[in-house]
Structure 1
Amino acid sequence: MSGDISDIPGAVGDVGLGAAAAKSVEPDTGGNGSDNHGGTGGETCLNCGTALLGAHCYNCGQKAHIHRTLRAFFHDLVHGVLHFEGKFWRTLPLLAWRPGKLMREYIDGKRARYVSPIALFLFTVFVSFALFSLSGGFGDIDPEVKGATTQELQASLNEADSQIAELNAQLVDAELSPDEKAKLREDIRSATTERDLLERLVDASRGATGDSSLFRPTVTINNETPSEGEEASETAQEQANSDAGGSGHSLEDVWDEATSNPGLTVYRLQTNAYKLSWLLIPLSLPFVWLLFPFSRKFRMYDHTVFVTYSISFMTMLVVAASLGAAWQFWPLVAAPLAYAPFHLYRSLRGTYGLSRFGALWRMVVLSAFIWVALMLFVLIMISIVTTS
């Protein structure tokens, strides 16, 4: 991802989408008092029809006063994005400096005053992706990397062209059986799809504009029409493959495809990571549970709140470090890295009421668990992007 100014509209759109997604799971607890007119009796809620007893419907929560002005519409937009009712600004300082207090109070029931963990997580993920797009990831550490990546992609493109030409030449061999021809056609289709993607990546790395010709395959499959017997054989072969191996991708196949073109794999990971970032939550939960095995005092809900808030803040630290790397302002890289273990320690101690020693050793163990969870996440991501 580049840091060009042309990325700004998309980045702003990602922020807005993140705010909308967060707002959709965050209950509205009220808003500006100037909007709360009416509803003192004798009226019904326009949403559910319940008799109103105040400024809000006690059944569905909708405001009694419904506006229809453009000014009020933009007020709702700002209100939704920034949580102007105060929840965001109450949550963020506590999450940064007293995370244990925030997590413990939310678990114990003080939830209307804070942004919920999942809403903050969604907002953080989309904002971080937008900032990554603007900053160009972790920055241009080596100015030759971009050129090397372009050369690598071009070499892969040339290799793909040669492979497709060779497969097409094999397909016209009259001595091939129907099963062999069916397999060759499938190989050509896969190679052509990969080749088209490589061509778009090469043009994008050279700064080419989005010409529609990039989306038209330049290498086509041999147009030989299969006979009815070949079609039946293809169907039988596909069914046999499905019954024998499911998707047909073994761990060895996934690894070979990922390592054959690491530049392409990294590009795919960058463009898909934020979509599956929620997987970090279920991946982390078993490791947190292992810190308190078979404990009746702490339930899985407690661990989920702890994990979700912690991942949200750690994502913020990663974004800050990436911005520092992009700007080559190294104190901004070092500070988040140094603060992360301390934040984890304070989170554990405050959330679970641990002693200093209990929080310290759990912080060390959990730090190791975090790397294991991240490795599992990366492996899952590689498996998905290389088999899709």
Structure 2
Amino acid sequence: MTGEIGAAADIATGTLVGRAFEPKAGEARHVHPGHDLEGALCLNCGTRLLGEHCHACGQSAHVHRSLGGIGHEIAHGVFHFEGKIWRTLPLLILHPGMLTRRYVNGERARFVSPLALFLFTVFLMFATIGAVGGEMTTDFIRNERTGKISDYARESAKARIALNQVEAQRAHATLSAESRAALDRQADALRTTVRALGVAADMQNGGANGGLVDLGDFKTGWERLDHGIAKANGNPGLMFYKLQTSAYKYSWGLIPLSVPFMALLFLWRRQYHLYDHAIFVTYSLAFMMLLTIVLIVAGVIGVADGWIVMAALLVPPIHMFAQLRGTYALRKRSAAWRTVALLTFAFTVLLAFVILLLLHGLTD
């Protein structure tokens, strides 16, 4: 029940945040009956009104001063989403290149802007994960509660941290030979303790580390990162929770990471600019998140795994191919090789994004 409430809150938040980035141009306006606007002044800037909205600052001539008015604004943001969503989604799914090209060419009032749609789909995707699949850390938290993350693992994490501290002390060049030898003995003892506790934890959990994540006992030389690795090995549930939160918070970073790769595909076509590529990338990411939502729901309602895997493998390249052809007016062969390159770039960007999230989570 808590997950469903949280999911509903995420969806509403995503819609309202998306609306904050979405211009109101193109919405139908209705004059309230019984209101005479002739000769009235704008309550915001004092300009004489020529219609139901001020031509100087854009404020509506009719302002709400009631709790019902607040409810109306929320309902309008959640359920209408400018009324443009039903013109945008069919084109995004069936004719993504046409949608991208028309938006770039200036048809802004008819469609939901790519950034607003992207923000909404991000909230919707994580809300769907929370509602139908639970948080990604549920299994890890359950393991902790049932004892599968044992005291051995916790003591092992403490020993790793102590080992990091000893090795940091040993790195000082001013130490005497006796002090250095003592620290070496202490480090060896801690390494033995870590290995023994790891074996004991595996035996208690039935081997194979009990399904836990083990990032290894390697040292990078970066004290903060080594400390984070030790903590992650001791508490993988917390690590996954932080990764999920970071992915939720920094998902917008996929856009600036992707745009340079798109620009590489059209270096010799000067009629296309970074803005065009940014619109392409943002709409494409929004579609991929919608596809993820559909696949998650399909798995929940019992669609065969084979169909889900086939859709996950085939739909993205087909959509990229169609969007490339429509956006950049490419021939089939030109769009085909760019689709292959774009898939490679997309994997590279996703991998870089995950690595950055890991570094952020482990060093935070």
TM range (shorter): 0.7 to 0.9
- Contact 1:55 1:65 (C-alpha < 8 Å) held by counterparts: yes
Question: Residue by residue, what CA displacement relative to the aligned partner does 1:330-355 show, whole Å, maximum 9, x if unpaired?
Answer: 33554354222111111111111111
Aligned match of 2:195: none
Cα gap change, 1:17/1:138 in structure 2, threshold over 3 Å: closer, same or farther?
closer
Output the CA distance in 2 between the equivalents of 1:324 and 1:317: 10
Q: TM-score, normalised by structure 1?
A: 0.69
Aligned match of 2:283: 309
Amino acid at match of 1:348: L
Q: Does 1:78 align with 2:72?
A: no
Q: Does 1:265 align with 2:239?
A: yes
Q: Where do 1:190-269 residues align within 5 Å?
A: 249=224, 263-269=237-243
- Contact 2:157 2:230 (C-alpha < 8 Å) held by counterparts: no
Output the CA distance in 1 between the equivalents of 2:340 and 2:163: 54
Tell me, what secondary structure is at the counterpart of 1:115? coil
Aligned match of 1:193: none
- Contact 1:103 1:309 (C-alpha < 8 Å) held by counterparts: yes
Output the CA distance in 2 between the equivalents of 1:66 and 1:364: 53
Aligned match of 1:62: 59
Amino acid at match of 2:256: P
Q: What's the CA shift for 1:133?
A: 0.7
Query: Which residue of the other structure, out of 82, 85, 90, is the alignment partner of 1:88?
Result: 85
Aligned match of 2:117: 120
Query: Which residue of the other structure, out of 292, 299, 317, is the alignment partner of 1:318?
Result: 292
Cα gap change, 1:276/1:144 in structure 2, threshold over 3 Å: closer, same or farther?
closer
Q: Where do 1:343-358 residues align within 5 Å?
A: 343-358=319-334
- Contact 1:39 1:55 (C-alpha < 8 Å) held by counterparts: no
Cα gap change, 1:163/1:32 in structure 2, threshold over 3 Å: closer, same or farther?
same
Question: Residue by residue, what CA displacement relative to the aligned partner does 1:255-286 show, whole Å, maximum 9, x if unpaired?
Answer: 67666765543332122211010110011011
Output the CA distance in 1 between the equivalents of 2:118 and 2:54: 29
Aligned match of 1:11: 7
Which range moved further: 297-306 or 79-88?
A: 79-88
Query: Which residue of the other structure, out of 317, 336, 342, is the alignment partner of 1:341?
Result: 317
- Contact 1:39 1:64 (C-alpha < 8 Å) held by counterparts: no
Amino acid at match of 2:361: V
Q: What's the CA shift for 1:61?
A: 1.8
Aligned match of 2:217: none
- Contact 2:140 2:237 (C-alpha < 8 Å) held by counterparts: no
Cα gap change, 1:44/1:340 in structure 2, threshold over 3 Å: closer, same or farther?
same
- Extract unaligned runs of 5+ from structure 1: 169-176, 181-244
Question: Residue by residue, what CA displacement relative to the aligned partner does 1:127-152 show, whole Å, maximum 9, x if unpaired?
Answer: 11111111226999xx9996499624
Cα gap change, 1:124/1:36 in structure 2, threshold over 3 Å: closer, same or farther?
farther
Output the CA distance in 2 between the equivalents of 1:285 and 1:167: 39
Q: What's the CA shift for 1:6?
A: 1.7
- Contact 2:154 2:234 (C-alpha < 8 Å) held by counterparts: no
Question: Residue by residue, what CA displacement relative to the aligned partner does 1:39-91 show, whole Å, maximum 9, x if unpaired?
Answer: 74411211222221112112222211223354443332121123354211111
Tell me, what secondary structure is at the counterpart of 1:103? helix
Q: Does 1:98 align with 2:95?
A: yes
Cα gap change, 1:159/1:342 in structure 2, threshold over 3 Å: closer, same or farther?
same
Question: Residue by residue, what CA displacement relative to the aligned partner does 1:298-342 show, whole Å, maximum 9, x if unpaired?
Answer: 000000000011101101111222333345423355435422211
Q: Does 1:20 align with 2:8?
A: no
- Contact 2:141 2:237 (C-alpha < 8 Å) held by counterparts: no
Q: TM-score, normalised by structure 2?
A: 0.73
Cα gap change, 1:81/1:271 in structure 2, threshold over 3 Å: closer, same or farther?
same
Tell me, what secondary structure is at the counterpart of 2:271? coil
Output the CA distance in 1 between the equivalents of 2:61 and 2:157: 63
Tell me, what secondary structure is at the counterpart of 1:273? helix
Q: Percent identity?
A: 42
How many residues matched? 309
Q: What's the CA shift for 1:120?
A: 0.8
Output the CA distance in 2 between the equivalents of 1:162 and 1:269: 24
Aligned match of 1:48: 45
Q: What's the CA shift for 1:7?
A: 1.1
Cα gap change, 1:285/1:58 in structure 2, threshold over 3 Å: closer, same or farther?
same
Q: What's the CA shift for 1:363?
A: 0.7
Output the CA distance in 2 between the equivalents of 1:300 and 1:386: 33
Output the CA distance in 2 between the equivalents of 1:109 and 1:61: 20
RMSD: 3.6
Which range moved further: 150-159 or 82-91?
A: 150-159
Tell me, what secondary structure is at the counterpart of 2:295? helix
- Contact 1:128 1:316 (C-alpha < 8 Å) held by counterparts: yes
